[in-house]
Structure 1
Amino acid sequence: MSTSPSSGRRALLTAAGLGVAALAARQATRPAPSEAEVRAATLRLLGLVLPEGRAFDVLLWDSTALPAPRTPARARLVLNTSQALGRMLRLPLDLALGEGYLRGDFEIEGEIGAVAGLADDFDLALSPGLVAMLARDAQTLRRHSGGAPAPVTASLEGPQHSRERDRQAITYHYDVSNDFYKLWLDRRMVYSCAYFPTGRESLDEAQEAKLEYICRKLRLQPGERLLDIGCGWGGLAIYAAQRYGVQVLGVTLSEAQLHEARARVSAAGLEGQVSLDLRDYRDVLAGGTEAFDKIASIGMAEHVGRKNMPTYFRAAYAALKPGGLMLNHAIADGIGQARVPMWLQSGNFARKYVFPDGELLPVWETLQHASDALFEVRDVENLREHYALTVGHWSANLEARREEALTALGEQRFRLWRLYLGACVYYFQKGHLSLFQSLLAKPDADRRAHLPLSRTDLYR
């Protein structure tokens, strides 16, 4: 696993940032650099910062090629214009790079993950002289790049994680187009980590295996009442009703999802068994709704936010009967560390362009909030390798349906989803992201959790 930079290296990197700022002040009135100066600065800077072990080629706007040391390369980074690199050299880097890709300043041909790992491979031995040279070249490129239009993003109003703002954030991501999601999800439209017992399953098989795994972990029994928080397009609700004979209430904030999910429930003939509602997680017991035997929250907790996590678990605990179980399935911060320091990486790209207001908590913090709400933690499983496989399928499906996706979304939003899915494959593979299924119990009056002494029933 990569390690963080030393304190000395951080100081030099900080000096580089300060040096660029100082040069910007001194050089603001200088004439724009010539194309020859820009090309020379580009080659020097790339020659210094590109990792020797990278698995991608670089192609400049004038067809100059910088082959990957490894052969064959898994990807190619194409700088479309001489201004591209200067626009990418702005802080925070993750936001500048992501926005550059959305604008079309550069292309990534092939495996996006090969380029997404650039920060992990950053291993430049910096000296004061080298820092000064990097700063000069970076400023040359930035003076040449000029201004760049910001890509279109979500425009949310109101206090963060208020009911109304959460609804806006969900609408931005999930109400894009049901037909768009159908292009690359499985036939059940399950938009969360699948389960690959052997690793050879198709996406459809793995998503069905995941739904079965969830139902087994919850030990669903015929006639029980299941609450599905963040029910999506109804995949789990329909599966649990059909296979386990439970009554299901599914809630979502996405009108597009609700419309499609209700149509799927009707097509399955389950209107009397599955009820779906446009409802906030804070209101699951609204309208006199009775408590539930079991609760599933699959891929929804990422939208709750740190400050509302206590409210989330208290609402779930109140909605659960004594002796009941809850399965919380959520992405978490992983343990992988990039060598580029965090002050260069804001982590705001995904929160700004992909999942507005989304927050990923480390698993220990999530479990602490659950425990504070009086849940008893009974089982925790990390499925990050399964999510790497899942997103790999999604990414491949999106690439295969590229033209249809472009028609459905337009250029910028297609590029956004392509970048997001392709990069996530790498992040889950390397542990920057993880996926935890946590089984929580609300013990009854006698402190019984109503679980078997062994987990062998999960793998029968």
Structure 2
Amino acid sequence: MSNPTSPSRRALVAAAGLGAAALAVHQVTRRAPSETEVRAATLRLLGQVLPEGRAFDVQLWDGTVLPPCRTPARARLVLNTSQALGRMLRLPLDLALGEGYLRGDFEIEGDIGAVAGLADDFDLTLSPGVVATLAQDVQTLRRHSGGAPAPVTATLEGPQHSRERDRQAITYHYDVSNDFYKLWLDRRMVYSCAYFPTGQETLDEAQEAKLEYICRKLRLKPGERLLDIGCGWGGLAIYAAQQYGVQVLGVTLSEAQLHEARARVQAAGLDGQVTLELRDYRDVLSGDTEAFDKIASIGMAEHVGRRNMPTYFRAAYAALKPGGLMLNHAIADGIGQARVPMWLQSGNFARKYVFPDGELLPVWETLKHASEALFEVRDVENLREHYALTVGHWSANLETHQEEALAALGEQRFRLWRLYLGACVFYFQKGHLSLFQSLLAKPDADRCAHLPLSREDLYL
């Protein structure tokens, strides 16, 4: 039996009351509230629901400021109109809040992560009388909010995670503009978690350290064949070929990435050593392609989907020679996710606007699918703090290049990326998201994985 006084229990009780109020709006018809009534309802509601330890202040449309509980404020939430809060009070709240920001209903000045933590700090113990008052305030604000246009999102056709639909989803996210990604990624354009051995590295240094770390974990040797699933703009393929003398086949579904990556391979003089193709992960052994000594899948598994995970690992296993290794590097649901009420954090916003059809699995489930495909799990490392640092660099770079980004994307798409990157810093810091590197082996006929007895070689 759950503890009725626990934070999660109290939050759910409050959610039930406020949720019932939101549903009641559709059943009640009253006169339009006045601006005075809307302002009073806004102040009462915010006074009750804003977390006590917040590090941001709130500015109303008329200039009124509700101060933070911790000073100095790290951010300011600005309600641009009196309709804004009513539009934000829809379920699930993470989707309503995200869409409100894309529309420009409100602004976040300063540290987006300070506001992104609102769900974590939400802990209400409300009496029935207070719930009843808040229910009336929610109704008042919702009646005043009026209709709101839905932001533009991806339009995908076909069965989820079919080849064609996966291509559409990848195109939506990655084919935005190579020049846009160049504004905030490192010089190699590596769009995945970097590695900060000391925490003081620049983004370029940390991404190079990550590429080196991957190559060491795979124990690459000259002359080996490496398959890079989801090769992006070619950063790993080029580095592994240059530094370890391997032959590389990189595959991607993004035509924009492929064009840029091939130009980078040619500029590096690696045409005969690195081959990049527009190819689905399910077809890595199509044609005359031989099996590979090693496989890297860096930041790609998030697009596969739970249903197709068995197919993904079976395809990788079939593409790997006996005695070979695979490194699977992917974002996963973190331990912090479970304690955030689903009415606040559905995850629908990211799946709808950032990574269409993307699915994050807990690491245990990913490893289960790998094991069922006959992989032997040899090493698992959580690098979530490194991803918090990585996204912090990306977010800061995007802020620095705001004008260029706006010109490349337009207002709504820029706001999407600003919100996404800024919030992810917080999510990785607090454990809502994690990043796991899992080293998988395909033992040979003698059940040998050809790995040293210690991990000491990774840190030389």
- TM range, normalised to the smaller chain? over 0.9
Deviations 1:378-428 (A, max 9, x none): 000000000000000000000000000000000000000000000000000
Counterpart of 1:195 in structure 2 is 195
What is the CA distance between 1:23 and its match in structure 2?
4.5
Aligned length: 456
Alignment match of 1:21 (pick from 6, 19, 23): 23
Is the contact between residue 121 and residue 338 of structure 1 (CA under 8 Å) also seen in structure 2? no
Q: Confirm whether residue 348 of structure 1 aligns to residue 356 of structure 2.
A: no
Counterpart of 1:10 in structure 2 is 12
TM-score normalised to structure 1 length: 0.97
Shifted more, 207-216 versus 132-141: the winner is 132-141
Q: How does 1:185-334 map to 2 (within 5 A)?
A: 185-334=185-334
- Secondary structure in 2 matching 1:286: coil
State the alpha-carbon separation in 1 of the partners of residues 12 and 182 from structure 2.
Answer: 45
Counterpart of 1:366 in structure 2 is 366
Deviations 1:224-255 (A, max 9, x none): 00000000000000000000000000000000
The aligned amino acid for 1:271 is D
Q: How does 1:39-78 map to 2 (within 5 A)?
A: 39-78=39-78
State the alpha-carbon separation in 2 of the partners of residues 367 and 49 from structure 1.
Answer: 40
Counterpart of 1:85 in structure 2 is 85
What is the CA distance between 1:15 and its match in structure 2?
3.4
Distance 1:119 1:9, change over 3 A: closer
- Secondary structure in 2 matching 1:381: strand
Shifted more, 448-457 versus 344-353: the winner is 344-353
Distance 1:446 1:338, change over 3 A: closer
State the alpha-carbon separation in 1 of the partners of residues 268 and 115 from structure 2.
Answer: 43
Any stretches of 5+ residues in structure 1 without a counterpart?
A: none
- Secondary structure in 2 matching 1:82: coil
Distance 1:360 1:339, change over 3 A: closer
Is the contact between residue 12 and residue 128 of structure 1 (CA under 8 Å) also seen in structure 2? no
Is the contact between residue 4 and residue 340 of structure 1 (CA under 8 Å) also seen in structure 2? no
State the alpha-carbon separation in 2 of the partners of residues 53 and 121 from structure 1.
Answer: 7
Is the contact between residue 337 and residue 433 of structure 2 (CA under 8 Å) also seen in structure 1? no
Is the contact between residue 10 and residue 125 of structure 2 (CA under 8 Å) also seen in structure 1? no
- Secondary structure in 2 matching 1:435: strand
Is the contact between residue 119 and residue 345 of structure 2 (CA under 8 Å) also seen in structure 1? no
What is the CA distance between 1:69 and its match in structure 2?
1.7
Counterpart of 2:383 in structure 1 is 383
- Secondary structure in 2 matching 1:130: helix
What is the CA distance between 1:339 and its match in structure 2?
5.8
Is the contact between residue 4 and residue 338 of structure 1 (CA under 8 Å) also seen in structure 2? no
Counterpart of 2:166 in structure 1 is 166
State the alpha-carbon separation in 2 of the partners of residues 123 and 12 from structure 1.
Answer: 8
What is the CA distance between 1:126 and its match in structure 2?
1.7
Q: How does 1:400-439 map to 2 (within 5 A)?
A: 400-439=400-439
State the alpha-carbon separation in 2 of the partners of residues 7 and 363 from structure 1.
Answer: 27
Is the contact between residue 58 and residue 65 of structure 2 (CA under 8 Å) also seen in structure 1? yes
What is the CA distance between 1:55 and its match in structure 2?
0.2
Is the contact between residue 9 and residue 126 of structure 1 (CA under 8 Å) also seen in structure 2? no
Deviations 1:423-447 (A, max 9, x none): 0000000000000000000000000
Deviations 1:310-345 (A, max 9, x none): 000000000000000000000000011476521343
State the alpha-carbon separation in 1 of the partners of residues 170 and 396 from structure 2.
Answer: 25
Q: Confirm whether residue 137 of structure 1 aligns to residue 137 of structure 2.
A: yes
Distance 1:101 1:23, change over 3 A: closer
- Secondary structure in 2 matching 1:251: strand
Deviations 1:336-389 (A, max 9, x none): 147652134321000000000000000000000000000000000000000000
What is the CA distance between 1:8 and its match in structure 2?
6.0
The aligned amino acid for 1:382 is N
What is the CA distance between 1:120 and its match in structure 2?
0.5
What is the CA distance between 1:11 and its match in structure 2?
3.9
What is the CA distance between 1:102 and its match in structure 2?
0.2
What is the CA distance between 1:16 and its match in structure 2?
2.8
The aligned amino acid for 2:242 is Q
State the alpha-carbon separation in 2 of the partners of residues 410 and 69 from structure 1.
Answer: 35
State the alpha-carbon separation in 2 of the partners of residues 234 and 4 from structure 1.
Answer: 49
Q: Confirm whether residue 105 of structure 1 aligns to residue 105 of structure 2.
A: yes
What is the CA distance between 1:288 and its match in structure 2?
1.7
The aligned amino acid for 2:403 is E
What is the CA distance between 1:278 and its match in structure 2?
0.1
Deviations 1:37-61 (A, max 9, x none): 0000000000000111100011000
Deviations 1:129-183 (A, max 9, x none): 1211111101100000000000000000000000000000000000000000000
Is the contact between residue 55 and residue 74 of structure 1 (CA under 8 Å) also seen in structure 2? yes
Shifted more, 131-140 versus 371-380: the winner is 131-140
Is the contact between residue 180 and residue 405 of structure 1 (CA under 8 Å) also seen in structure 2? yes
Is the contact between residue 5 and residue 339 of structure 1 (CA under 8 Å) also seen in structure 2? no
Quote the sequence identity (%).
88
The aligned amino acid for 2:156 is L
State the alpha-carbon separation in 1 of the partners of residues 23 and 161 from structure 2.
Answer: 35
State the alpha-carbon separation in 2 of the partners of residues 340 and 435 from structure 1.
Answer: 19
State the alpha-carbon separation in 2 of the partners of residues 369 and 64 from structure 1.
Answer: 53
Is the contact between residue 21 and residue 139 of structure 2 (CA under 8 Å) also seen in structure 1? no
The aligned amino acid for 2:132 is A
Any stretches of 5+ residues in structure 2 without a counterpart?
A: none
State the alpha-carbon separation in 1 of the partners of residues 168 and 369 from structure 2.
Answer: 25
State the alpha-carbon separation in 1 of the partners of residues 8 and 114 from structure 2.
Answer: 25
TM-score normalised to structure 2 length: 0.97
The aligned amino acid for 1:156 is L
CA RMSD between the two structures: 1.2
State the alpha-carbon separation in 1 of the partners of residues 417 and 25 from structure 2.
Answer: 36
